Structure 1
Amino acid sequence: MAPKISFSDPSDVIDFVINKGHGVKGLSEMGLKVLPKQYVQSSEGIIDDSKILAHESIPLMDMSKWDDSQVAKSICDAAENWGFFQVVNHCVPAEVLEGVKEATHRFFGLPADEKKKYSKELSPSNSVRFGTSFSPQAEKALEWKDYLSLFYVSEDEASALWPPICKDEVLEYMKKSEILIERLLQVLMKGLKVSNIDEAKQRLLRGSIRTNLNYYPVCPNPELTIGIGCHSDVSTLTILLQDHIGGLYVRAIDGENWVHVPPIEGSLVINIGDALQILSNGRYKSVEHCVVPNKSSNRISVPIFVNPRPIDIICPLPEVLANGEKAIYKQVLYSDYVKHFFRKAHDGKKTVDFATLSN
């Protein structure tokens, strides 16, 4: 029997969704006809349909010829001008991608009590977190999304503490993506005249990894809410697997409009994060993006966030400034940057201001 909750009482909704672990999925499965007011965004928080460019999208690249100079140029151009691109023939096996998608559905299909074991209050590790929305305590309106966040410390910890129902598939997805990540970073560093990626730079670029399993349930009024609010990632790179439903929108080159990222079977979406924008002194762009939920289908996505280590200092690379270019970002401890991002609601590109030098 479905639990009874009063949608007129905000604390009742919060208790059901967050405290009892039902998530937005639990709300959706009640057969809602109207979106609860706690999820109704202001006009600034949702995409204006008139600003969606229907016949434009991010670059699509065939990665089967890694050594082709034109492919390298296309990657760097996309990083500079779009901040996003989509890749096919990327060497991550199709069965691995399908496996992690199925594992995501399995996890979110667990009873609320099982998922709640991984909530902030009950999780066996800070590296494993089940939650909903983005930062419920800081948000004026909640986002229509549940998630499981998995920070990779070691294979032993993952094997011991990650949810058994999905851990093997997530680990395999991360492992099989390593070559893609390494090759992309080599190309992007070469574009910045960084010829030697030594051990210290490896740690700075990809010293820590986090994977999210994202679940966007069917929404009765998707035009009134948002799945993920407009933001840029704090990562170096993000590798995103999306399913066939669609709903990811990226800020267009003009800075005003939006483009939809169409689901392409077997593809992965790559985007530049704030850390790489700072390391490149603004040459490579981290770009605003958001997710719009769907009225008829549940949607999932599985991003891998490739990050500096929490203890690393991020600032423009010496090679980037070697020609006399003036730094536009200061030195920032990466853990401080990330804490600043997570303590507030999604707010577009404002997190980068935390690292920007004043004129």
Structure 2
Amino acid sequence: MAPSISMLQKNPLDIFDFVVNQGHGVKGLAELGLKTLPQQYIQSTQERFDFMSNNVEDNSNKSSIPVIDMSHWDDPNVAQAVCDAAQKWGFFQIVNHGVPIHVLEDAKDATHKFFSLPPHEKQKYSKEHSVTNNVRFGTSFTPEAEKALEWKDYLSLFFISDNEASSFWPSICRNQALNYIESSHNVVKKLLKILMKGLNVEELDESIEPILMGSKRINLNYYPKCPNPELTVGVGRHSDVSTLTVLLQDDVGGLYVRNTETMKWIHVPPISGSLVINVGDALQIISNGTYKSVEHRVTANANSNRISVPIFVNPRPQDVIGPLPGLTKNGEKPLYRHVLYSDYVKHFFRKAHDGKATIEFAKVYFLYKNKNLLLMKNE
């Protein structure tokens, strides 16, 4: 018999055990008839999202990230719009991109179906029970490292091959997730071709492609209705560690992006049939800061459950990323050092969400700063 919320709230450790260790997730917690937010999910004042504050941009004038019509991929104006958005915003939405609408709808439907499974079925894919590290059901971001948990459950699927996916991915969402990845491949490839051409680096050839898009991970995200959304977050402020992220939203909304000029948060309204594209840290590093990965976050919602399906397009774990040689050959200073991508990702996942702090790991001065600290310790 499932415990009551009153029973769980008598001992905070019981809630953590119920949500994280037993695999019920925050969805299971919400479905117990939660009336007030448990203490574990109450964020610090500075991390909460206050719609009435001066830090949230007024969307009444319909201003948001650029929306780009990709009907004509070879149009120079389209290419310019993509590069401008990647430099100024780090985010843009694309419409008429070529991914069939039924593929997008199937991916959203499969997400709802997976999270409708009973807890013991989802628990098979948890960290403790999954037969592979490439399939992971979990909650929040890094629960063990967080002062306050995030109001989100997820299924993370790292793509190795069709055969591996057939063996280990949950059957209820496997084909839909694979179709979404496959159908978006050419979109990603074309966008990266445009962005690389925008860097004006003559030496670029197909050898860079495996570094830019050598691996992919798809997440199925579920954000249950929340009794006190003003006290928590769906996802805390962060930038992605990907090259590019391709995000499919449902019609609920809740994604906010930091406007780097005003430093205010601006809503990304769902547009039917669109995909949200954002620059990740890897592309910021590779472009030597020309293209910007920017902070974004997701709010909790009091009225509706929300789902989203991002595809994270990444370098391979064994790749070393750093500014492309052509960007620094004329005396320009590299802003970032060369780092093993798997080291960068590990640094990201071993801590709570903390805005853009992860990029510091790759900055040139980081190496010298840490060498100096080591010398001081040894003196």
In structure 2, what is the Cα distance between the partners aligned to 1:41 and 1:347?
Answer: 13
> Matched residue of 1:233: which SS?
coil
Question: Which of the residues 172, 179, 183 maps onto 2:179?
Answer: 172
Question: Which of the residues 27, 31, 34 maps onto 1:32?
Answer: 34
Worse-superposed segment, 346-355 or 28-37: 28-37
Aligned residue number for residue 159 of structure 1: 166
Give the letter aligned to residue 23 of structure 1: G
Question: Which of the residues 284, 293, 306 maps onto 1:299?
Answer: 306
Q: % of aligned pairs identical? A: 63
Deviation (angstroms), 1:134 = 0.1
Give the letter aligned to residue 252 of structure 1: N
> Matched residue of 2:256: which SS?
strand
Deviation (angstroms), 1:195 = 5.0
Question: Which of the residues 17, 20, 34 maps onto 2:22?
Answer: 20
Deviation (angstroms), 1:124 = 1.2
Give the letter aligned to residue 231 of structure 2: L
Aligned residue number for residue 243 of structure 2: 236
Worse-superposed segment, 282-291 or 255-264: 255-264
Aligned residue number for residue 127 of structure 1: 134
Deviation (angstroms), 1:23 = 0.2
Deviation (angstroms), 1:2 = 4.1
| CA deviation string 1:296-335 (max 9, x = no partner) | 1000000000000011111100121133211010010000
Deviation (angstroms), 1:45 = 1.4
Aligned residue number for residue 252 of structure 2: 245
In structure 1, what is the Cα distance between the partners aligned to 2:132 and 2:297?
Answer: 28
| CA deviation string 1:273-314 (max 9, x = no partner) | 000000011110000000001101000000000000011111
Kindly report which structure 2 residues correspond to 1:288-327, keeping only aligned pairs within 5 A, or say none: 288-327=295-334
Q: Is contact 1:138–1:345 with CA below 8 Å preserved after alignment?
A: yes
Deviation (angstroms), 1:6 = 2.0
| CA deviation string 1:167-216 (max 9, x = no partner) | 00000000000110000000000001135653431111001000000000
In structure 1, what is the Cα distance between the partners aligned to 2:174 and 2:40?
Answer: 32
Q: Is contact 2:50–2:230 with CA below 8 Å preserved after alignment?
A: no
> Matched residue of 1:104: which SS?
helix
Kindly report which structure 2 residues correspond to 1:1-359, keeping only aligned pairs within 5 A, or say none: 2-4=2-4, 5-49=7-51, 50=53, 51-55=55-59, 56-194=63-201, 197-254=204-261, 256-358=263-365
Q: How many residues of Structure 1 are paired with residues of Structure 2 in the alignment? A: 359
| CA deviation string 1:90-114 (max 9, x = no partner) | 0000000000000000000000000
Q: Which contiguous aligned blocks of 4+ residues in structure 1 show a shift greater than 6 angstroms?
A: none
In structure 2, what is the Cα distance between the partners aligned to 1:200 and 1:255?
Answer: 38
Q: Is contact 1:242–1:302 with CA below 8 Å preserved after alignment?
A: yes
> Matched residue of 1:117: which SS?
helix
Please give the TM-score of this superposition, normalised by the length of structure 1: 0.98
Q: Is contact 2:279–2:294 with CA below 8 Å preserved after alignment?
A: yes
Worse-superposed segment, 42-51 or 324-333: 42-51
Please give the TM-score of this superposition, normalised by the length of structure 2: 0.93
Are the structure 2 counterparts of residues 8 and 255 from structure 1 closer, same or farther at C-alpha, using a change threshold of 3 Å? farther
> Matched residue of 1:325: which SS?
coil
In structure 2, what is the Cα distance between the partners aligned to 1:164 and 1:311?
Answer: 29
Deviation (angstroms), 1:146 = 0.1
Deviation (angstroms), 1:80 = 0.5
> Matched residue of 2:170: which SS?
coil
> Matched residue of 2:179: which SS?
helix
Give the letter aligned to residue 37 of structure 1: Q
Q: Is contact 2:125–2:137 with CA below 8 Å preserved after alignment?
A: yes
Q: Is contact 1:192–1:319 with CA below 8 Å preserved after alignment?
A: no
Aligned residue number for residue 376 of structure 2: none
Deviation (angstroms), 1:232 = 0.1
Q: Is contact 1:38–1:141 with CA below 8 Å preserved after alignment?
A: yes
Give the letter aligned to residue 25 of structure 2: G
Deviation (angstroms), 1:166 = 0.2
Report the structure, 1 or 2, having the larger helix content: 2
Greater gyration radius: 2
